[in-house]
Amino acid sequence: MGEGERATEGNERPSYPPSSRLSDDAAGPAQTSRPSKWGSPLLGWGDSSWDSSGNVGCTVRIHRDESSHILKRLANYMTGSNGRFSILKPFSIEERISVAHQAAAFFSTAKYKEKRSALGKNPEQPGIHPFHMLDFMKYLKINDSFPEAERHMYNIERLLDQLVQAHILNDMGMGTSPPFGRQYYFLKEFTNIEKQGILWLAPGLGPEFLNYMYKNMVLRITGIDKNGIERAGTGIAITSRWILTCAHVVNQMNVSDLQKFGDKEFRVIRKLAHEDIDVALIEVDSDLSITPGTSFREPELQDTVFTVGYPIVPRSREPFLIMQRGEVTSPIMTDYWGQRLFLYSAIARPGNSGGPVIAASGHVVGIVSESLEGSNTKSEDPKKDSSSRKSKVKKGDNPQNIEKNNQLEFSVFYAGVPTSQIQKAIFDLLPGENIKLTIEDYS
């Protein structure tokens, strides 16, 4: 985008729990144990369910027709004076993450016999058969993550449907206990990067999840321009000490030596801007927050993407992290200055520059660079003067194409720097240093 917005006071953002690691059975060694609010590690169980040797620590007896049992309880509430049986309040994002993570664990074929035994089923039954939603609700009660799981049945059913639509769970059809007996498998295989976190849940949990997982990595960068006006842009942490942003963010203002991200202050050590690619790096003196499993990839045509950053919000007392949805309209283009960009339809405003463009898959596909406006003629290099591409279209003009001074003016396009160009710029800016993007190679 063009010049950064005027900076406003405050940059407070709530912290989020560390993302969970996968267990051996799902995707490699687990790094840390998961607090109880997150439920069990993937394909494992809650801490209270297993002893140190992996034996079942508790079991439950399941009614022969659990579905009828739930329907009877529901009918009693509906015909009596006890109020509503179901809890209809939507899950919080933390609850959605916890339940989705535990669903992947439960519907996996790993530890199949142990799960059957814990659920009161015959563990020696031949073959491997899919579990159903009623079994899952019992599982949630066993590990105490949702003691009243049955009362959350509508939210749970809706979440499982979303995971099926995202191809995270496989729908195996209705079992013998309708209406809550739909059966599932979790058969997903992981890349080496996906094993490091839970961002692979992004297609099923959507933009709220992406915002939750990336919000501590997306940073507001402040400084003073040549006129003494406080400005700001956006950046994203790519390592514990390096922030990725745009060259024009660094060039158009004197970046303040002291930056405040969340409730912590960081001192700027180095600022490096590429001469030909709209990419810059800022080194700080303390560790930044990095979401495990974060990775970059190239943009793809019609990718659903989100711009995330700190554009100016009129009449706002403080900056807010803003997320805007769009699509990749062209995965590659070359401008007059030879810079390779990609185009997307998500709105980006002054202050968004340098912020990530995140795909619905959970990958970062590039950073916000600029809006392409005005006539189709070469002007000054936008990395040095982003105002050079501002359209001179006036109110009431046709926004699609306007003939002005024998030239055609066009409506706005939003351009970003793709992953491949970011990687090239980093190599150029830090030759010989072991600083590079984590790029998903699907190994």
Question: Mind listing the pLDDT tens digit for each residue in 69-88?
Answer: 565 665 565 555 566 788 89
190 Cβ neighbours under 8 A, 6+ residues apart: 22, 26, 27, 28, 200
Low-confidence winner among 55-59, 238-242, 360-364 (lowest mean pLDDT): 55-59
Q: Which domains, from first to last, does the chain contain?
A: 24-206 (no CATH), 304-419 (2.40.10)
pLDDT, position 265:
94
Averaged pLDDT, 254-258:
96
Residue 68 has pLDDT above 70, yes or no: no
Length of the chain measured in residues: 443
Q: How confident is the model at residue 28 (pLDDT cuts 50, 70, 90)?
A: very low
Residue 175 has pLDDT above 70, yes or no: yes
Low-confidence winner among 13-22, 272-281, 307-316 (lowest mean pLDDT): 13-22
Q: What's the CA gap between 27 and 61, in Å, rounded?
A: 31
pLDDT, position 407:
56
Which pair of tokens denotes residue 41? 């590690």
Beta bridge pairs of residue 404: 407
CB 200 within 8 A of CB 28: no
Q: How confident is the model at residue 176 (pLDDT cuts 50, 70, 90)?
A: confident
Averaged pLDDT, 399-422:
72
Secondary structure element (H or E) that encloses residue 93, with its range = helix 93-106
Q: How confident is the model at residue 422 (pLDDT cuts 50, 70, 90)?
A: very high
Q: How confident is the model at residue 25 (pLDDT cuts 50, 70, 90)?
A: very low
CB 357 within 8 A of CB 418: no
Beta bridge pairs of residue 272: 281
Which pair of tokens denotes residue 419? 């992953």
Q: Please tell me the number of Cα atoms within 13 Å of 46 on its side-chain side.
A: 25
Q: What's the CA gap between 64 and 218, in Å, rounded?
A: 51
pTM here? 0.78
According to DSSP, residue 11 is labeled: -
Question: Mind listing the pLDDT tens digit for each residue in 303-353?
Answer: 999 999 999 898 888 899 999 999 999 999 998 888 999 999 999 999 999
Low-confidence winner among 118-127, 299-308, 392-401, 414-423 (lowest mean pLDDT): 392-401
pLDDT, position 181:
83
Residue 40 has pLDDT above 80, yes or no: no
Q: Give the Cα-Cα-Cα angle 356, 359, 362 (nearest 5 degrees).
A: 95
Closest CA to 261 of 294, 295, 216: 216
